Amino acid sequence: MIGASSGLGREVARLLLDRGWKLGVAARRLEPLEELRQLAPERIEVQSIDVTAHNAPQALQELIARVGGIDLLFYASGVGSQNMTLEPSIELNTMEVNALGFTRIIGETYRYMASHGGGHIAAISSIAATKGLGPAPAYSATKALQGTYLQALEQQSRMRGLNITFTDLRPGFVATPLLGDNPGYPMLLDAKRVAREMVNAVNRHKHLHVIDWRWRVVTAMWRRVPRWLWRRFTFLKTK
Ligand SMILES: NC(=O)c1ccc[n+]([C@@H]2O[C@H](COP(=O)([O-])OP(=O)(O)OC[C@H]3O[C@@H](n4cnc5c(N)ncnc54)[C@H](OP(=O)(O)O)[C@@H]3O)[C@@H](O)[C@H]2O)c1
């Protein structure tokens, strides 16, 4: 479980614990991970992993070894901000974490599973993967990357006869530290409820799951909007 120290990742970790899973939990901050460990010390291994660090794959391998293998990778790490002034540090950090960090960890897990009989990779991308969103260019671009990457691996896994399955989870706006205390987001979802729906989707081995039903309708409409009309859209005037 990568990104278990906060928000959606932490809620999913709690649910998996309730359902009897043995967990390896990772993120950069150890303190919240240690708090999680107190819930079931005999069933949780903790590891500090910065997905942008070059030694992240090695740290992941250490965690997998301590847990005794991996059946499910749940990937919840990510950053995101609105960036109407295109502040370079925000754009580049988003690329580092959501694109390079994601590719680093998903790839390491895929190769491990390929040589250990298979497994299941689930990752939280976003409804922002559907279209380029003006207020968050790097965020929507990296979320599209994540969705496309999972789709490609899903096909490659099948071509190679690997027993690896994938779930791309796409929530709408969720009240977590990622959004801060900004009240202006439409159709804001509750983190616990989203976590439950994500775990159910993983259990059912869904390939792609948008959360919730209202966001399924919205993203289906977004997909149909032609480019000439999309560029005229104005939304997320929250700051
Ligand atoms: N909240 C929303 O509205 C929403 C909507 C759709 C999709 N999502 C996606 O859901 C995922 C989880 O977001 P959240 O809303 O739960 O936000 P969050 O509460 O801010 O959690 C983000 C998690 O990512 C980890 N993380 C950030 N940078 C990292 C790094 N360099 N290395 C390792 N871990 C790192 C954080 O842990 P540390 O800081 O301890 O490293 C934390 O556990 C993200 O991918 C986000 O894009 C969120």
| Type of residue numbered 29 | R
The whole-model pTM stands at 0.97
Ligand 1 lined by 179 (C-beta under 6 Å): yes
Ordered structural domains, the chain, with CATH: 7-230 (3.40.50.720)
Nearest to 18 by CA among 40, 2, 34, 33: 40
8 CB under 6 A from ligand 1?
A: yes
Ligand 1 atom 46 nearest Cα: 78
Quote the pLDDT of residue 87: 98
Q: Please list the pLDDT of the chain residue by residue as tens digits (239 residues).
A: 999 999 999 999 999 999 999 999 999 999 999 999 999 999 999 999 999 999 999 999 999 999 999 999 999 999 999 999 999 999 999 999 999 999 999 999 999 999 999 999 999 999 999 999 999 999 999 999 999 999 999 999 999 999 999 999 999 999 999 998 776 889 999 999 999 999 999 999 999 999 999 999 999 999 999 999 999 998 765 54
**Secondary structure (3-state) at 117:** coil
- On whether the CB atoms of residues 105 and 75 are closer than 8 A, the answer is yes
How high is the pLDDT of residue 235? 72
CA of 41 to the centre of ligand 1 (A): 24
Distances (CA, A) of 135 to 44, 118, 124, 187: 38, 39, 20, 17
- The verdict on whether omega for the bond into residue 212 sits within 30 degrees of 0, i.e. cis, is yes
Ligand 1 pocket test, pick from 81, 96, 178, 218 with the greatest ligand atom count within 8 Å of Cβ, gives 178
Residue 5 φ/ψ, nearest 5 degrees: -85, -10
Question: For residue 66, what are the contacts with CB-CB under 8 A and spacing of at least 6?
Answer: 24, 45, 47
pLDDT at 181: 78
b (16+ CB within 10 A) / e for 198-230: bbebbeeebebbbbbeebeebbeeeeeeeeeee
Q: Are the C-beta atoms of residues 94 and 138 closer than 8 Å to each other? A: yes
What are the CA-CA distances from residue 103 to residues 36, 95, 182, 229, 232 (Å)?
A: 26, 11, 30, 32, 32
The 10 Å Cβ neighbour count of residue 44 is 22
- Tell whether ligand 1 has an atom less than 6 A from the beta carbon of residue 174: yes
Q: What confidence score (pLDDT) does residue 102 get? A: 98
Q: Which two tokens stand for residue 146?
A: 């994540």
d(CA 51, CA 175): 23
- Give the separation between CA 1 and CA 60, rounded to whole angstroms: 10
pLDDT of residue 234: 86
Q: What is the pLDDT of residue 138?
A: 98
